[in-house]
Amino acid sequence: MVRSNSRVLRVVTSDTVFLNHILEIKNGEDRMFWLATVLALTLSSAGAHGTASSPAQVVNSNKKEKLVEAEPPPFTEGIFPCSQCHNPKVNGKVNPTRRELQFHDEIQSDFHHDSENRWCLDCHDANNRDVLHLTSGAPVPFTESYKLCGQCHGDKYRDWKRGVHGKRIGQWNGEKTYFLCVNCHNPHSPKFKPIKPLPPPIRPSEMNRGKR
């Protein structure tokens, strides 16, 4: 009881900015209605700030909102399943030592993900190359790679679950598709690459149709 009260209090406090904002609404009736609405919504959703592992689980079931996972980006053609090549039964024992590989040149040359300290088998599972693994050793399928990312990037992971980090498209109040980490970030080199901007606007002095 005490715990849930303090949670409500916390949520309400964090809503202060917003409440102050809507309190500016001049119409008294409107104000009361809004206040009530916001309080009701806040209270009813206070329990939703749980520890769900994917955004889909955060959704309030009363609403028509529905979160749909974006399709993870496709693998390079012919690369998956990895066990085609990385097969302990064929290749023998896995060498767990960090080293330069004679293959996967493309990935190795563009590996910028704490590359001084980390290498392939920190994320890819040594025994079953078709999955990833958490630091605990628990396997994670490629389609749920965000769990792996979230181990280190806890703040981004939390933001992503709330819809603050990352991108959602579709309907703001209905079916929305949320992008996975790997939809936007290359896991081997996650920093965004600079892109070419679209053209700047025409300057007012150059926009002169019809001038005499």
Q: Which residues bind another protein (CB under 8 A)?
A: 11, 14-15, 17-18, 21-22, 24-25, 34, 37-38, 41-42, 45, 48, 58-60, 65, 155, 158-159, 162-174, 176, 179, 184, 192, 194-205, 207-212
The separation between CA 49 and the C-alpha centre of its own chain, rounded to angstroms, equals 16
Could you give the CA distance from residue 24 to residue 35 in angstroms, rounded to a whole number?
11
Minimum gap (Å) between residue 29 Cβ and another protein: 12
Non-local (6+) Cβ contacts of 55 within 8 A are 67, 160, 161, 162, 163, 178
Minimum gap (Å) between residue 12 Cβ and another protein: 10
Minimum gap (Å) between residue 120 Cβ and another protein: 27
CB count within 10 Å of CB 104 equals: 12
Could you give the CA distance from residue 119 to residue 100 in angstroms, rounded to a whole number?
9
> Which CB sits closer to another protein, 124 or 165?
165
> Which CB sits closer to another protein, 99 or 203?
203
Minimum gap (Å) between residue 6 Cβ and another protein: 16
